[in-house]
Chain A
Amino acid sequence: MIDYVSALSIDFGLIVPEITVLVTSFVVMMLACSKKVSSWSSTVTLVGYVLALWFTTRQWGHQGSGFADMVTCDNFGIVFKAIFIVASIIVVFLGHRYLRVKGLHRGEYYALMLVSTLGMMVMANSSDLIVLFLGLEIMSVPLYVMAGMYRRSLESNEAGIKYFFMGAFSTAFLLLGIAFIFGASGTTNLRSIVTDFSYIANSFPVYLYAGVALILIGFGFKVGTVPFHTWVPDVYQGAPTPVTAFFSVAPKAAGFAALLRVFVYGFSEVTILSDVFWVLAVLTMTVGNLLALRQDNVKRMLAYSSISHAGYILVALVVGGADAVAAAIFYLVAYTMFNLGGFGVVTLLETRSGCKSEFNELRGLSKTNPYLTATLALFMFALSGFPPTVGFIGKFYIFSAAMQSGFVWLTVIGVMNSFVSVYYYLRVIKTSFFDEAEGTPVPAVLSPTIIIALVITAVGTLGLGLFPQQLLQLSQAAIFGMP
C-alpha cells in the first residue's frame, strides 16, 4: 500500500472555494431539472458565489501548494479568484431581467456560469501547465454553450459555433506547445521549469522556443490579442448581452492570470518575449481602436474596445517585473467594474423590444432615462480614461510602469491610442444626450436587479478612482509569493 495522500500532498483545504463553486453548480443543475424550483437557481447561485468569495478571502496571506505541486495557493491567485467571483455576481444581477424577457432564464445558464467560473479559478491557482490547460477547458466549454444558448436567434447560433471552432483550434496550439515544453524539460511544472531553466535553454532551445511560441498563440486567441482577435467582435455581438458582459471580463482576466503566471514568472528568462509582447501590445491597441471607430453597433464597438483594453494590459507584460504586474492587476479590477457597467446599460436597453444595440437606438435616451444616461456617460468616460474615474488611474499606473522601465515609444503609442478611443466613446455620449430621436423613444424599464448591478459598478468606477490607494496596495500585495 502506497501512502500517496501525503506523498502527493493532497490537501483539500487549498481548494475550498473551488469545491464550493462546484457543489453549487450541481445543486443548480438539480434545481434546473424541475420546473417548480428552477426559479430558485439565481438565488442559490448568488449564495454559492458569496460563500466562495468568503472562503477565498479567508485564504488571503496563506502560502501553500499541494496535489503534487500542481495547485498553488498564493495572493496572486486569490486576487484573481476574487475578480472572477465578483464579476460573476455582478453578471448574475445584470442578466436577470434580460433573460426573463428573452425567455432564457433557466437554471442551466447559472450552472454553466458556475462551472466556467470554476475553470477560471483552477487556472488562477495552477502552477502546472496541464492543470492550467484543464482549467482553461473547464472555463471554455461552458462558454461555448453560453454563447449559443439563445437557440432561436441565428446570431447567437453563429456566435456559439464560431467561438467553439476558434476556441478548439487555439486549444490545439496550446496543447502542442505544452507537449514541446514537456519534451524540453521532462515536466510540466512551472516551478521545476524555472529551477532548471538554464539547463533546458542550453540543451533543447528548439523545443523550448517552439513551445513558448505555441503557448503564446493559444493564450493569444483566448484573450483576443490582435492577429488572433477575429472571433471577438462576432462572438460578442451575437451572444446574449449578459453573456457578452461575462465574456468581456472574466475569461479575459483568467487569460491574463495565466499569461502573467506563465510568461512573467515561468518563462521570464526568455528575453525575446519582451519584444514579441511589444509588437502584440502595439498591434492590439491600435487595431482594436481603429476598427472600433467605424462601428455602428454598440455591442460590436464595445467588443473592439475590449480588444484595445487587452492591448493596454499587454503593455504590463512587455515591461514585466513587480510594478507592472501590480498595475496589470489594478487595471483588470478597474476594467471589470467599468466594462461590466457599460455592458450593463446596453443589456438594460436591449430589454426594450426589437432593440439590437445600434447607435441609432441611443438617440433621445437622455429625455426618457436621464439618470441611466448619466451612468452610461460615467462608464464611457471611465473606458476612455478620463479622471476622476478609475479608468484614468489604471492607465496611469500601467503607462508609468512602462515609462520607468524605459519603454518611451510604447507609452507614447499607448497614450495616443487613448486619445483615439475618446472619439468613439464620446460618440455614445453625444448620441444619447444631444441627438433627437425619430418618433417617440421608448423608455427603458429599470428592474431592481439591474439597478443593483449598475450601482455596484458605478460606485466601483468612481470610488476606486477617487480612492485608489487601497486597491493599489492590494494589487501590490498580490504579487508577493508568485507563483
Chain B
Amino acid sequence: MVPVSAYLILAVVLFGIGAIGVLTSRNMIVLFMCIELMLNAANLAMVAFSRALNVVDGHVIVFLVLTVAAAEAAVGLAMIITIFRNRETINIDRYSILKW
C-alpha cells in the first residue's frame, strides 16, 4: 500500500504549484485554475487521511468542498465576464485603478 505521506507530499506540492501560480500568473482564467488546483490539493489530503484513518468523514467533506468550488467557479466566471465586457482584458495587472 502506498503510505499516506506520499499522498500528502503530492498534495502539498500541488498546493504549492497552485499558490505560486496565483502569485505569478497574469491571466485571470489561469489564476482561477490555480485556485481550483489548491482546493483540490486540499481534497486530496482529505481523502488520503480519510483512507489512512479508516473514517469516512473525509470523503463526505470532499463532496461539500466540490460543491463550494463549483459555486465559487460560477460566481468567479460571471464576474470575469462582466469585467471583460467593460475593460476588454483579463490581464490582472491592468486592474489597478485602486491604489494608494
**What residues of chain A have their CB less than 8 Å away from a CB belonging to chain B?**
130, 133-134, 137, 141, 144-145, 148, 151-152, 154-155, 157-162, 164-165, 168-169, 171-173, 175-176, 178-180, 182-183, 186-188, 233-234, 237-238, 291, 294-295, 300
Tell me whether A141 and B83 are in contact (CB under 8 A).
no
Q: Given A154-B86, A172-B35, A172-B39, A134–B68 Cβ distance below 8 Å?
A: yes
Q: Given A168-B35, A179-B46, A237–B58 Cβ distance below 8 Å?
A: no
**Smallest CB–CB gap between A203 and chain B, Å?**
12
CB < 8 Å A-B pair total: 133
Asked if B55 is an interface residue, CB under 8 A from chain A, the answer is: yes
- Determine the chain B residues whose CB is within 8 A of the CB of A155 once the complex forms: 97-98
Q: List the 10 closest A-B pairs by CB distance, nearest first.
A: A172-B38, A183-B49, A175-B42, A179-B45, A176-B42, A234-B98, A157-B83, A179-B46, A186-B53, A168-B35
Tell me whether B82 and A151 are in contact (CB under 8 A).
yes
Tell me whether A295 and B75 are in contact (CB under 8 A).
no
Q: How large is the interface on B (under 10, 10 to 19, 20 to 34, 35 or more residues)?
A: 35 or more
Tell me whether B98 and A158 are in contact (CB under 8 A).
yes
- Determine the chain A residues whose CB is within 8 A of the CB of B45 once the complex forms: 176, 179-180, 183
- Determine the chain A residues whose CB is within 8 A of the CB of B96 once the complex forms: 158
Other 15 A-B pairs with CB < 8 A, given A133-B68, A161-B95: A137-B72, A155-B97, A159-B98, A162-B98, A165-B28, A165-B92, A169-B35, A172-B39, A172-B41, A176-B11, A176-B42, A179-B49, A182-B46, A183-B52, A294-B100
**Smallest CB–CB gap between B7 and chain A, Å?**
10
Tell me whether A237 and B98 are in contact (CB under 8 A).
yes
For chain B, residues 50 to 100, give those with C-beta under 8 angstroms from any C-beta of chain A: 50, 52-53, 55, 57-58, 61, 64-65, 68, 71-72, 75-76, 79-80, 82-83, 86-87, 92, 95-100
Tell me whether A161 and B79 are in contact (CB under 8 A).
yes
- Determine the chain A residues whose CB is within 8 A of the CB of B76 once the complex forms: 144, 164, 168
**Smallest CB–CB gap between B68 and chain A, Å?**
5
- Determine the chain B residues whose CB is within 8 A of the CB of A179 once the complex forms: 11, 42-43, 45-46, 49, 58
Tell me whether B86 and A157 are in contact (CB under 8 A).
yes
Asked if B17 is an interface residue, CB under 8 A from chain A, the answer is: no
User: What is the interface of chain B mostly: helix, strand, loop, or mixed?
Assistant: helix
User: What is the interface of chain A mostly: helix, strand, loop, or mixed?
Assistant: helix
For chain B, residues 2 to 16, give those with C-beta under 8 angstroms from any C-beta of chain A: 4, 8, 11, 15
- Determine the chain B residues whose CB is within 8 A of the CB of A152 once the complex forms: 86
Tell me whether A183 and B53 are in contact (CB under 8 A).
yes
Whole-angstrom distance between the alpha carbons of A183 and B79 in the complex? 35
Q: Given A182-B58, A187-B57, A154–B72 Cβ distance below 8 Å?
A: no
Whole-angstrom distance between the alpha carbons of A155 and B97 in the complex? 7
- Determine the chain B residues whose CB is within 8 A of the CB of A171 once the complex forms: 39, 68, 72
**Smallest CB–CB gap between B94 and chain A, Å?**
10
Whole-angstrom distance between the alpha carbons of A175 and B49 in the complex? 14
Closest to B28 in A: A161
Tell me whether B79 and A148 are in contact (CB under 8 A).
yes
Tell me whether B79 and A186 are in contact (CB under 8 A).
no
Pick the residue among A145, A237, A295 that contacts B79 (CB under 8 A).
A145
Tell me whether A175 and B82 are in contact (CB under 8 A).
no
Closest to B94 in A: A158
Q: Given A158-B98, A234-B99, A148–B35 Cβ distance below 8 Å?
A: no
A-B contact pairs, 15 of them (CB 8 A): A141-B72, A151-B86, A160-B79, A160-B83, A161-B28, A161-B95, A165-B28, A172-B19, A172-B39, A173-B38, A175-B42, A176-B42, A180-B45, A182-B46, A233-B100
Whole-angstrom distance between the alpha carbons of A133 and B53 in the complex? 22
Whole-angstrom distance between the alpha carbons of A402 and B57 in the complex? 40
- Determine the chain B residues whose CB is within 8 A of the CB of A238 once the complex forms: 97-98
Closest to B22 in A: A169
**Smallest CB–CB gap between A418 and chain B, Å?**
23
Tell me whether B75 and A164 are in contact (CB under 8 A).
yes
Pick the residue among B22, B75, B92 that contacts A144 (CB under 8 A).
B75
- Determine the chain B residues whose CB is within 8 A of the CB of A237 once the complex forms: 98
Tell me whether A134 and B64 are in contact (CB under 8 A).
yes
- Determine the chain A residues whose CB is within 8 A of the CB of B18 once the complex forms: 172
- Determine the chain A residues whose CB is within 8 A of the CB of B80 once the complex forms: 161
Whole-angstrom distance between the alpha carbons of A148 and B22 in the complex? 21
- Determine the chain B residues whose CB is within 8 A of the CB of A233 once the complex forms: 98, 100
**Smallest CB–CB gap between A103 and chain B, Å?**
16
Tell me whether A176 and B35 are in contact (CB under 8 A).
no
Pick the residue among A168, A188, A295 that contacts B57 (CB under 8 A).
A188
- Determine the chain A residues whose CB is within 8 A of the CB of B83 once the complex forms: 148, 157-158, 160-161
Tell me whether A172 and B42 are in contact (CB under 8 A).
yes
Closest to B23 in A: A169
**Smallest CB–CB gap between B95 and chain A, Å?**
5
